[in-house]
């Protein structure tokens, strides 16, 4: 457990020290969302109707930007070899690193969404629901993304390959993220899509590390 916390703490500290990954992701998120009204014109009704979807899709793209570095920096400087000699199984190494990615990127992106919602004329009542679904859904983004990051560890231009591998796997997260916003804002306030979104997140937290650790073992040969 102390090894797990040490690794989590180190990755969070590195995320703060380096700063680049989070800054790039937040900047990218902001720019994509800012460009959209410019492209679509100032039809406020249209914007507020598509706002949740736009915010979700832009969040997925922004999170992808920083996923490539989850294992690559440890692989390049040799840390990954040493991490493998620890008492922590590789699955938990992946869990710690993906968790650090969620805390350092997923949560800030989700918290930034309401600010960007202002640009898209998102109705005020939708803000808490939007942030809640994003906080529930972003663990899936980090943990599924970790599989892609592990698979493309040694690939040239791995960043582009990650997008091709991982974006299709984000489809269920996106569908149920959007469905839970619609359901919670709808007349009944139904929460079943939110429960499915939670299930997707929890399943990816368990299954993602298994797949990513298997991929890392192959890559380290």
Residues that bind another protein (CB under 8 A): 2-3, 5-7, 9-10, 13-14, 17-18, 76-79, 81-88, 220-221
Cα–Cα dist 69/47, whole Å: 33
Q: Which of 112, 116, 122 is nearest to 44 (CA)?
A: 122
Contact (Cβ atoms closer than 8 angstroms) between residue 150 and residue 94: yes
Radius of gyration of the chain (CA): 18
- Find the shortest distance in angstroms from Cβ 69 to another protein: 13
Cα–Cα dist 152/70, whole Å: 11
Which of residues 17 and 157 has its CB atom nearest to another protein in the complex? 17
Cα–Cα dist 112/59, whole Å: 10
Contact (Cβ atoms closer than 8 angstroms) between residue 215 and residue 151: yes
- Find the shortest distance in angstroms from Cβ 166 to another protein: 26
- Crossing angle of helices 44-67 and 69-76, in 10° steps, is 20
Which of residues 79 and 121 has its CB atom nearest to another protein in the complex? 79
- Find the shortest distance in angstroms from Cβ 108 to another protein: 19
- Find the shortest distance in angstroms from Cβ 105 to another protein: 17
Which of residues 83 and 165 has its CB atom nearest to another protein in the complex? 83
Which of residues 14 and 155 has its CB atom nearest to another protein in the complex? 14
* Sequence-distant (≥ 6) Cβ neighbours of residue 163 within 8 angstroms: 64
- Find the shortest distance in angstroms from Cβ 85 to another protein: 5
Which of residues 20 and 128 has its CB atom nearest to another protein in the complex? 20
């Amino acid at each position: 457990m102390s090894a797990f916390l040490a690794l989590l703490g180190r990755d969070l500290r590195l995320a703060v020290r380096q700063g680049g990954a989070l800054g790039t992701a937040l900047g990218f998120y902001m720019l994509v969302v800012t460009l959209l009204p410019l492209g679509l014109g100032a039809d406020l009704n249209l914007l507020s109707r598509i706002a949740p979807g736009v915010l979700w899709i832009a969040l997925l793209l922004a999170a992808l930007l920083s996923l490539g570095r989850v294992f690559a920096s440890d692989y390049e400087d040799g840390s990954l070899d040493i991490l493998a000699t620890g008492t922590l199984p590789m699955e938990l190494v992946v869990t710690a690193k993906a968790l650090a990615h969620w805390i350092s990127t997923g949560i800030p992106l989700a918290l930034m969404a309401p600010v960007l919602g202002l640009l898209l004329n998102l109705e005020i009542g939708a803000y808490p629901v939007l942030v809640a679904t994003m906080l529930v859904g972003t663990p899936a983004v980090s943990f599924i993304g970790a599989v892609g990051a592990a698979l493309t560890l040694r690939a040239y231009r791995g960043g582009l390959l990650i997008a091709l591998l991982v974006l299709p796997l984000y489809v269920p997260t996106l569908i149920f993220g959007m469905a839970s916003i619609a359901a919670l804002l709808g007349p009944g306030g139904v929460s079943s899509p939110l429960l499915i979104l939670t299930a997707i997140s929890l399943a990816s937290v368990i299954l993602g590390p298994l797949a990513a650790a298997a991929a890392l073992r192959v890559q380290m040969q």
